[in-house]
């Protein structure tokens, strides 16, 4: 241990000992980053009305409460549907856009790209109230359709960026090769380009799903009625009092996120292995 | 033209112009490639040689011009209907397919029977000496093998025209030399009309039936390798192919003189406003016995002598200040007879080697 | 040479058609953003210039300048954003540096601690802090058990809670780009500096730090912009004591149904955001040129 402290930690001959402060600081920061999220998990299994850690009596009552509540079930179902449909809208639209912008040499490609990523820069509240008003006018407020469209523009920038950067590192002469061998352009894209950026497409799809699933502010305004999202109901519940049911739902959401992340990671590793 | 294959197609390019903004990538280019010919587009980077190849392939659409494969006008035909084989600088192999998958791709597009595809793939791989490699992954191949697969893929559907974009530039020198010979043999065997792009003059000289030297979007000269080297049309071509020093000369009537000394030459000089004398280092000779009768003699001072193993290089300054290079063989006594720096030397140029070219800078 | 065939116009049409076809692939996405983002926001812009009587008026903007409550909201927004961004830099930069210096295998493992919160729902994380920081919460409980303080301290529903929550949520946005730019620094630069006689400290500040500026700048910008328009975390953890612009917009709609006031605030927020991005885009370019000069 002490020998390790005297070993050089970098090419500039700083020893691990001299860097100890950095290691300690980093560990503290990393602990602070993850624990607040993870501590919710054991707390959700507490029997107490006041979230305890560690729980004195373990129980599944908050999960039971969640699963037996028609409101929470409806909200969960809406969130899942919305996220799934958002993924189905944003991914193809974003992939096509990224490819179109990458392949066409029109002068305003850069402007179009910036335009497509503006939803990322406009404050969410503004999107929410603007969409709220317009939806109310045309009568699609509180519909799945409207919510999916609104979430799709929030997911689009991520898809365009992820696919765009994948295309940048992709050798377009492969597509030319396919065309010279007799494939029309669309076929060259489908048989040659698409299979090679498939990991980016999967990543983009997962990101779209998560973007919609986690979104609060827009959902607060344009979801509701028959179609409230999970996040909308959670937010409203948070403003009132600390309901332990939220801990159970949070745990489930963390699991969903972690699952999707692991999925993306596996795809990422396959990509690394292929390269 | 070495092989007369009835399947090969001539290519006729007429008046092709391509501009990017104010830049002429191709400036009214016309070129006739004979059926079965191996022609090389040679030029520095940015000369327009690749643009011309891309026009033939259909990936670059020119502003105007005509392009015919045989009798068929194809300038507005999309690339996938041009039916030509092409290899790319980066090979452009499909990494998500096996070697056989790559080679089978054009056949599948043409909806051939499975059995026939398998047979033709194997045959094509054998042609490029990769028989039995079909199951390999692309990432498992060496650079030379990748090049062969790309070649097999571009010939497997028996196109009548083959385009090659700097196919050997990513290989090391030894492999490149070997592949040059192989490509040449393959061309003789298959006989398809081939357009080859390179910036390597030696590669062009080794492989081509004819070479088109391209610069600034124009074809500077179209000629056989030998003619190109011996009788370059202008200073650009002379400079680009081989080393040379240019000496200013004056013309008065039939006579051409350098520094007041009338030159003896065999080949008549071109009919251009200015002339220059092109001196290749391996053609000018160091004379140990002073000026020689019947040759052009130049008095000079040795500036530097470099021993290079198989030869030596002498830099000498002519009386008018021009630095001239001379390459000589190192054999027996010549090694000990090399001049020292500062020695007065006489350089001689035989009338057959006295080449007068267009002196303008273009 | 033969005369040029008269096909120039045909070729030009082909070229235009092909380009437009390719560009057309992005039209569904462009249309989506146009209809769902530009039109609604454009409408807000329009409404912000309507007075109470439905006529063109600047009263919504006048009110913002005249009423001190609005000025206070803007000041709070900027204060919260600046402090959050500053804390993120102070905490995030050392962590990114740590991650960039340790062996990649361990770094990837440690990276999970950054990525996990990044992908976890923001609402879940805000909720977690609410639970931890409340009076009967874990932190108060443990601190009192350890004897750090005797009475429960109020750490949530105020500025403290808001800042803690926001820093936690924004940190990954800073760490990821900074880490990226640190990994991109060629280690030979630092070696060269050491070889030229720089102490490790000098080598860090003279060579390494300037080279990571683009990442730090991008991360800082990202965090600051996100903070300006942030809603959920201050709304939950601020407990009504920390009012930021986006919260005022929401309450204008939800409580007062005052579209004019909400829109005007929104327009100002949007203008501020774009102004910062615009200014930053100039500096980012300058910065990259400076970075390339090293």
User: HSE (CB half, 13 Å, CA atoms) of C118?
Assistant: 16
Among A233, A76, A86, A74, which Cα is nearest to A145's? Answer: A86
B267 and B218 in a single domain? The answer is no
Please name the helix (run of DSSP H) or strand (run of DSSP E) that holds residue B245, with its range, or none. strand B245-252
CB contact under 8 A, C12 and B63: yes
**Of B235, B254, B285, which marks where a domain is finished?**
B235
pLDDT at residue C7 is higher than 90: no
- CB contact (8 A) between residue A173 and residue B88: yes
For chain A, the C-alpha Rg in angstroms (whole number) is 24
- The residue with tokens 């962590």 is C95
B4 part of a folded domain: no
Residues of A with CB under 8 A from a CB of B: 171, 173-174, 176-185, 187-188, 191-192, 195-196, 274
SS (H, E, C) B131-187: CCCCCCEHHHCCHHHHHHHHHHHHHCCCCCEEEEECCCCCCCHHHHHHHHHHHHHHH
Tokens of C100: 């960039």
Asked if B95 and A196 come within 8 Å (Cβ–Cβ), the reply is: yes
Rounded Cα distance, B159 and C177, in Å: 49
CB contact under 8 A, B88 and A183: no
Task: Answer whether A123 sits within 8 Å of C270, measured CB to CB.
Answer: yes
Beta-carbon contacts of B22 under 8 Å, excluding residues fewer than 6 positions away, are: none
Chain B residue numbers touching C21 (CB-CB < 8 A): none
Is residue B36 scored above 60 in pLDDT? yes
Query: What is the four-CA torsion angle of B101, B105, B111, B112, rounded to 10 degrees?
Result: -60
Between chain A and chain C, the number of residue pairs with CB atoms below 8 A apart is 245
* pLDDT score of A12: 63
User: What ipTM goes with this model?
Assistant: 0.89
| Highest mean predicted confidence (pLDDT) among B186-190, B192-196, C282-286 | B192-196
* B66 in any annotated domain: yes
- In the predicted model, what is the mean pLDDT of chain B? 90
pLDDT(C159) > 60: yes
Beta carbons of B83 and A177 less than 8 Å apart: no
* CATH code of the domain covering residue B350: 2.40.50.140
Q: Going by C-beta distance under 8 Å and a sequence separation of 6 or more, which residues neighbour residue B340?
A: B302, B305
Torsion angle (degrees, nearest 10) of CA A101, A106, A109, A111: -160
Asked whether residue B74 is domain-assigned, the answer is: yes
Those chains having 3 or more beta-carbon pairs within 8 angstroms of chain C are A, B
How far is residue B61 from each of residues B58, B213, C9, C116, measured CA to CA in Å? 6, 22, 12, 49
| Model pLDDT for residues A18-75, shown as the tens digit of each residue | 788 899 999 999 999 998 888 888 888 988 887 777 788 888 999 999 999 999 999 9
Residues of B in contact with C10 (CB under 8 A): 76
- Tell me the H-state helices in chain C: 8-24, 27-33, 39-48, 59-66, 68-101, 104-119, 122-133, 138-145, 159-184, 187-195, 200-203, 209-211, 213-228, 232-237, 245-254, 259-293
Is A97 exposed, middle or buried, given 0-12, 13-18 or 19+ CB atoms closer than 10 A? buried
CATH number for the domain formed by residue range(s) C33-293: 1.10.3720.10
The residue range of the domain holding B301 is: 244-358
H or E stretch at B221: strand B218-223
User: Is some CB atom of chain C closer than 8 A to the CB atom of B360?
Assistant: no
Residue A209 phi/psi, 5° resolution?
Answer: -60, -50
pLDDT band for position C1 (50/70/90)? very low
Q: How many CA atoms within 13 Å lie on the side-chain side of B206?
A: 16
Q: Quick check: C193 pLDDT over 80?
A: yes
User: In angstroms, rounded to a whole number, what is the distance separating the alpha carbons of residues A118 and A121?
Assistant: 5
Strand partners, B223: B211
Q: How far apart are CA B59 and CA B51, in angstroms?
A: 9
pLDDT at C153: 86
Spatial strand order in the sheet of B193-198: B85-87, B161-165, B193-198, B38-42, B210-215, B218-223
Residue A257 confidence (pLDDT) above 80: yes
Site from C1, C7, C9 to mutate, B interface, most B CB atoms within 10 angstroms: C7
Asked if residue B75 is part of any domain, the answer here is yes
Tens of pLDDT along C25-55? 999 999 999 999 999 999 999 999 988 788 8
Look at residue C2 in the predicted model and tell me its pLDDT: 44
Q: Phi and psi at residue B71, in whole multiples of 5°?
A: -95, -5
Name the pTM for this structure.
0.88
Domain boundaries, given as residue ranges, for chain C: 33-293
Among the listed residues C268, C261, C266, the one whose alpha carbon sits nearest the alpha carbon of residue C40: C266
What is the reported pLDDT for C3?
A: 44
**C203 contacts A160? CB cut-off 8 A:** no
Is the same domain home to B94 and B177? yes
Which of B180, B211, B235 lies at the terminal end of a domain, its last residue?
B235
List pLDDT tens digits, range A163-189: 999 999 899 999 999 999 999 999 999
CATH of the domain at B113: 3.40.50.300
Same domain, B258 and B197: no
- Angle of CA points C245, C248, C254, to nearest 5°: 145
The pLDDT value given to residue C221: 92
* Predicted local confidence at residue B192, as pLDDT: 92
How many Å is the Cα radius of gyration of chain C?
Answer: 26
C-alpha A130: how far from chain center: 23
pLDDT over threshold 80, residue A264: no
- Structure confidence by residue, pLDDT tens digits, B295-307: 999 999 999 988 8
Query: How much is the CA Rg of chain B, to the nearest whole Å?
Result: 25
The pairing of beta strand B296-307 with beta strand B344-349:
antiparallel
Evaluate whether residue B2 is within a structural domain. Answer: no
CB contact under 8 A, B63 and C11: yes
Using 50, 70 and 90 to split pLDDT, how confident is the model at C192? confident
pLDDT in tens, C217-251: 989 999 999 999 999 999 999 988 899 999 999 99
B36 and B181 share a domain? yes
Eight-class DSSP state of C207 = I
pLDDT of amino acid B3: 40
C294 pLDDT more than 90: no
Same domain? B268 vs B229: no
Question: Residue A272: is its pLDDT beyond 70?
Answer: no
- The verdict on residue B139 lying in a domain is yes
Please write the tens of the pLDDT for every residue from A188-245: 999 999 999 998 999 899 999 999 999 999 999 999 888 999 999 999 988 777 788 8
- Chain A residues near residue B89 by CB distance under 8 angstroms: 173
Residues of C in contact with A124 (CB under 8 A): 229, 231, 246
Q: How long is chain C?
A: 294
Residues B28 and B128 in one domain: yes
Against chain A, the chains showing at least 3 CB pairs within 8 Å are: B, C
Q: Are residues B172 and B30 in the same domain?
A: yes
* Number of independent structural domains in chain B: 2
Comparing C-alpha atoms, which of C85, C82, C73, C75 is closest to residue C243? Answer: C73
Give a yes or no: residue B23 inside a domain.
Answer: yes
Q: Which residue has the tokens 């391509």?
A: B18
Q: Is the pLDDT of residue C289 over 80?
A: no
Q: How confident is the model at residue B339 (pLDDT cuts 50, 70, 90)?
A: confident
B249 and B179 share one domain: no
Q: Mean pLDDT throughout C127-138? A: 86
Give chain A's domains with CATH numbers. Answer: 2-61 (no CATH), 70-240 (1.10.3720.10)
- The CA angle B191-B194-B199, to the nearest 5 degrees, is 140
C32, C132, C232 member nearest A152 (Cβ):
C32
Same domain flag for B329 and B347:
yes
Q: Which of residues 48-67 of A touch C (CB under 8 A)?
A: 50-51, 53
Q: Round the average pLDDT of chain A to a whole number and report it.
A: 89
Say what the pLDDT of residue C285 is: 53
Concatenated DSSP letters for B46-57? TSSHHHHHHHHH
Lowest mean pLDDT among A4-8, B190-194, B354-358, C103-107: A4-8
Q: Which of C4, C12, C15 sits opposite B15 (nearest CB)?
A: C4
Three-state SS at B2:
coil
List Cα–Cα distances, B77 to B343, C20, C244, in angstroms: 66, 18, 61
Q: Which of A1-10, A90-99, B217-226 has the lowest mean pLDDT?
A: A1-10
Could you say which of B235, B258, B273 is where a domain stops?
B235
Residue B10 has pLDDT above 90, yes or no: yes
């Amino acid at each position: 241990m002490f020998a390790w402290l005297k070993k050089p930690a970098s090419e500039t001959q700083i020893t691990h000992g001299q860097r100890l402060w950095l290691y300690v600081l980093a560990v503290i920061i990393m602990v602070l980053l993850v624990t607040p999220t993870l501590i919710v998990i054991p707390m959700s299994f507490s029997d107490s009305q006041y979230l305890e850690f560690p729980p004195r009596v373990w129980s599944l009552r908050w999960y039971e409460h969640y699963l037996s509540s028609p409101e929470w079930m409806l909200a969960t179902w809406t969130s899942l549907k919305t996220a799934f449909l958002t993924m189905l809208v944003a991914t193809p639209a974003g992939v096509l856009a990224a490819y179109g912008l990458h392949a066409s040499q029109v002068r305003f490609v850069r402007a179009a790209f910036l335009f497509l990523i503006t939803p990322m820069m406009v404050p969410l509240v503004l999107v929410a109230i603007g969409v709220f008003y317009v939806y109310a006018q045309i009568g699609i407020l509180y519909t799945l359709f409207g919510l999916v469209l609104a979430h799709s523009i929030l997911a689009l920038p991520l898809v365009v960026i992820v696919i765009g950067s994948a295309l940048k590192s992709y050798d377009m002469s492969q597509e030319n090769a396919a065309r010279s061998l007799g494939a029309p352009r669309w076929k060259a894209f489908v048989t040659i380009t698409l299979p090679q950026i498939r990991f980016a497409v999967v990543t983009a799809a997962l990101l779209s799903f998560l973007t919609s699933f986690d979104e609060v502010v827009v959902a607060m305004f344009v979801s509701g009625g028959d179609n409230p999202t999970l996040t909308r109901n959670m937010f409203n519940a948070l403003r009132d009092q600390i309901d332990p049911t939220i801990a159970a739902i949070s745990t489930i959401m963390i699991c969903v996120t972690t699952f999707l992340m692991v999925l993306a990671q596996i795809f990422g590793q396959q990509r690394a292995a292929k390269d | 033209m070495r092989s007369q294959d009835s399947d090969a197609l001539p290519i006729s390019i007429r008046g092709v112009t391509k501009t990017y903004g104010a830049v002429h990538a191709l400036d009214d280019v016309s070129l006739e490639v004979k059926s079965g010919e191996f022609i090389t587009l040679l030029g520095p980077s940015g000369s327009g040689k690749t643009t011309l190849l891309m026009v033939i392939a259909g990936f670059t659409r020119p502003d105007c011009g005509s392009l015919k494969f045989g009798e068929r006008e194809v300038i507005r035909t999309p690339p996938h209907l041009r039916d030509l084989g092409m290899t790319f600088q980066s090979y452009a192999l499909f990494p998500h397919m096996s070697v056989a998958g790559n080679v089978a791709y054009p056949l599948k597009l043409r909806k051939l029977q499975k059995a026939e595809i398998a047979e033709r793939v194997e045959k094509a791989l054998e042609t490029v000496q990769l028989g039995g490699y079909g199951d390999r992954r692309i990432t498992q191949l060496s650079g030379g093998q990748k090049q062969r697969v790309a070649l097999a893929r571009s010939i497997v559907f028996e196109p009548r025209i083959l385009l090659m974009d700097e196919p050997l530039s990513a290989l090391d020198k030894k492999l490149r030399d070997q592949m040059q010979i192989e490509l040449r043999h393959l061309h003789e065997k298959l006989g398809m009309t081939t357009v080859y792009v390179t910036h390597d003059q030696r590669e062009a000289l080794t492989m081509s039936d004819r070479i088109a030297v391209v610069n600034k979007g124009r074809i500077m000269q179209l000629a056989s390798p030998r003619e190109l080297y011996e009788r370059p049309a202008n200073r650009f071509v002379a400079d680009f192919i081989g080393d040379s020093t240019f000496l200013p000369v004056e013309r008065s009537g039939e006579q051409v003189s350098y520094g007041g000394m009338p030159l003896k030459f065999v080949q008549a000089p071109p009919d251009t406003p200015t002339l220059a004398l092109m001196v290749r280092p391996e053609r000018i000779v160091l004379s140990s016995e002073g000026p020689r009768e019947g040759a052009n003699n130049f008095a000079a001072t040795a500036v530097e002598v470099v021993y290079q193993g198989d030869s030596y290089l002498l830099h000498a300054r002519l009386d008018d200040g021009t630095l001239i290079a001379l390459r000589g063989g190192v054999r027996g006594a010549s090694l000990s007879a090399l001049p020292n720096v500062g020695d007065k030397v006489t350089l001689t140029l035989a009338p057959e080697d006295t080449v007068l070219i267009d002196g303008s800078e273009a | 040479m033969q005369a040029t065939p008269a096909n120039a116009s045909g070729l030009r049409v082909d070229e235009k058609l092909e380009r437009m076809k390719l560009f057309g692939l992005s039209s569904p996405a462009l249309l989506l953003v146009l209809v769902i983002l530009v039109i609604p926001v454009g409408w807000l812009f329009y409404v912000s210039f309507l007075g109470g009587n439905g006529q063109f008026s600047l009263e919504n903007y006048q009110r913002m300048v005249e009423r001190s409550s609005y000025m206070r909201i803007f000041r709070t927004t900027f204060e919260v954003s600046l402090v959050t961004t500053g804390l993120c830099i102070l905490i995030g930069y050392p962590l990114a540096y740590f991650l960039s210096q340790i062996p990649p295998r361990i770094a990837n493992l440690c990276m999970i601690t950054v990525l996990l919160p990044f992908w976890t729902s923001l609402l879940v994380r805000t909720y977690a802090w609410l639970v931890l920081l409340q009076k009967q919460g874990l932190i108060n409980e443990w601190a009192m058990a350890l004897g750090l303080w005797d009475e429960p301290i109020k750490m949530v529903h105020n500025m403290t809670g808001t800042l803690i929550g926001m820093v936690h949520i924004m940190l990954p946005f800073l760490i990821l780009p900074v880490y990226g730019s640190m990994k991109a620094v060629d280690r030979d630069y630092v070696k060269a500096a050491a070889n030229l006689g720089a102490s490790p400290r000098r080598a860090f500040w003279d060579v390494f730090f300037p080279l990571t500026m683009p990442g730090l700048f991008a991360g800082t910008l990202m965090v600051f912009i996100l903070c300006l328009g942030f809603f959920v975390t201050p709304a939950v953890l601020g407990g009504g004591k920390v009012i930021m612009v986006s919260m005022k917009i929401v309450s204008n709609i939800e409580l007062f149904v005052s579209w004019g006031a909400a829109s005007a605030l929104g327009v100002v927020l949007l203008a501020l955001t774009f102004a910062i991005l615009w200014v930053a885009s100039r500096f980012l370019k300058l910065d990259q040129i400076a970075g390339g000069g090293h």
